[in-house]
Every structure is written in structure tokens, then in C-alpha cells.
Amino acid sequence: MKKIILYILLFLSVVGYTQTSMVSASIETSSIRIGEQFKYKLVINETENVILPKLDLKGLEVIDSVKTDTINNQLIQKYILTGFDSGAYYIPQQQVFIKNQAYLTDSLLVNVATVAVDTTQIKKYPIKTIKKEPYVFDDFKVYIYLLIAALLIIGFWIYWFVIRKRKTEEEEVTYRALTPYEEAIYKLNELDEKLLWQNNKTKQYYSELTEIIRGYIERELNVPALEKTSDEVIATLTDFHSSESIRTSIDSIKKLKALFQEADLVKFAKSKPLAIEIEEDRRDAEVILSDLKPKIISKDDELE
């Protein structure tokens, strides 16, 4: 029985020696102050097929790890540790695998002490008031956006109700100073400068073109052409021609009817006339304006 116990003790001592001879752990100091850093070093007497542990500590924190170094067939790994709470803390045994075999380091004790403060040597200062942070753009961006929006609204209001209205009134005054024919020709030239049909705005082009002719008929012949349909305008002009109330050729009335029909096809049937047809309609419009004239009543006709 004594021999068996002796063999067991001998085996344990051999295993313990093997463990400590293959891996070892050390710290540069066993007592630190709160927040002070110290090194924890692992030395492995082997350089190949080594798996280092991931430190799992309680009460202590790993700040950093130094690059693994190899010296004299030894693998050295250093860690920088610290503690922020006073007390005694164990660095537990760390398990290192060497060629798929586990080896344990010794556990180490570290004391973390508080820093003694001599209050008699500390100069006392009055409590400072809360200091306001400096203003930044984010503090004002909401107000800036609101100001920009308000300026845009005010600018739009001024343009729409003041400048635009004044411009419209000035145009009306200008048009009143012109004869109906001069006004119509002036508007036709303005329409040409807009280049509407050249920019695929054919519908808008024909709308403005026919509106110019209707406005001319309304001013020159005293016919509410802007309120009538195309057929009604043609019918009225045909009646005037039959009664010789206007000195207009029937050919001009036919051209006007064809122009109205073309405009209706563009506006309502999405027709797309060719450029040569649009240019011809523009020339016809000017011919129609030149020919649509009221009959001049002489003094002899009035006496009759």
C-alpha cells in the first residue's frame, strides 16, 4: 500500500514538473495602484503548433497585447493589464495547447490599491457655473431653412401679384396703343421667337396661334371669337361675307377653317403635322389677318 501511494506522488510530481517546465506565467509586479498598467508574460518552451489562450479575467482588464516573440526556442507572449477597482484579484491558470496537448500555467495574485489623496495639499477652487457649448450650424439650420422658405414664398408672391401683374398691364397698354392688325403681327413675331414647335411643343404653338387670330377677330370685327367654337367663328364670318359686312375673300375664310381644323387635330387628336405644314399654317395666319377687314362705310352709304 505504501508503494502505491509513493508511485502516485511520484507521478503527480512528474506531471507537475512537466506542466511547469513547458509553460510558465509571470507578472512584473504583484501590487499596483488603480489604473496603473503592468505586464503579464507567458513563456512556452516550444515554438511550433502552439495555441495561446484568450485571457478571461475577473476584476482586471486587458489593455493590449504585445506581438509574439521567439527567443532561444521559446515562445513569449506579453499582455498589458490594469485594474480599476481596488482589491485582490487572481489571474487564473491559463490553458496552452502544444501539439494538441493541454498545459496549465500557475495562477497569480495581483493587489490593486487605491491612490491615497492628501486633501491638505489640494488647493480649493469655487464651483464653476455650467459653461455653455459654442453655437454650431445645426443649432440654427431649422431657422435658416424656415427663413429661406419664407423668402421664396415672399419672392413668389411679389413676382406673381406685383411684377407679373405690372408686366401684364404694361403689355395691355402697349397693345392698346397698337391697331388690331399691328397687335396681331406683334404677337405672331413673339410666337416665332419662342420656337415652340421646334422644341416639340406643337400643341402649345397651335393654341397660341389660333388665340392670336381669335383675338384679332374680336378686336377688329367686334365678334366674341375667344368665346365661340371654331365652327361658330367660321359660320359668323361666312354670314358677314354673305351680307357684305366685311371685305374678306371666301378663300381667306376657307384657309381659316382649315387652320382651325388642323389646330383641333393637334390639340385633341394628338396629330403631329410636318414642319413644312406648320410653316405653311404660319404663313396662312398672316394672310388671313391681312385679309380679314371690316367693310368701310362711306358717308354716301350712311345717307342711303
Model confidence over 185-211: pLDDT tens digits? 999 999 999 999 999 999 999 999 999
**In the predicted structure, residue 14 carries a pLDDT above the cut 60:** no
Alpha-carbon distances of 286 from 69, 149, 189, 213, 234, rounded to whole Å: 99, 46, 10, 9, 17
Start-to-end Cα distance in the chain: 164
Average pLDDT over residues 258-269: 92
Instruction: Tell me what percent of the residues of the chain surpass a pLDDT of 70.
Output: 84
Compute how many other C-beta atoms are within 10 angstroms of the C-beta atom of residue 23.
25
3-state secondary structure of 16: helix
Contact between 91 and 53 under an 8 Å Cβ cutoff? The reply is: no
Highest mean pLDDT among 76-90, 151-165, 290-304: 76-90
Note the pTM of the prediction, 2 decimals. 0.45
Highest mean pLDDT among 86-90, 208-212, 247-251: 208-212
Cell, residue 110? 495581483
Domain 19-115: CATH superfamily, name plus number: Immunoglobulins (2.60.40.10)
Query: What digits encode the pLDDT tens for the residues 38-82?
Result: 898 989 988 888 888 888 788 888 888 888 888 888 889 899 989
**In the predicted structure, residue 274 carries a pLDDT above the cut 90:** yes
- Check residue 121 and give left, alpha or beta (phi > 0: left; psi -120 to 50: alpha): alpha
Q: Is 14 exposed, middle or buried (0-12, 13-18, 19+ CB in 10 A)?
A: exposed
pLDDT interval class at 167 (50, 70, 90): low
What is d(CA 18, CA 219) in angstroms, rounded to the nearest whole number? 120
Domain boundaries, the chain: 19-115, 136-177, 179-298
pLDDT value, residue 118: 62
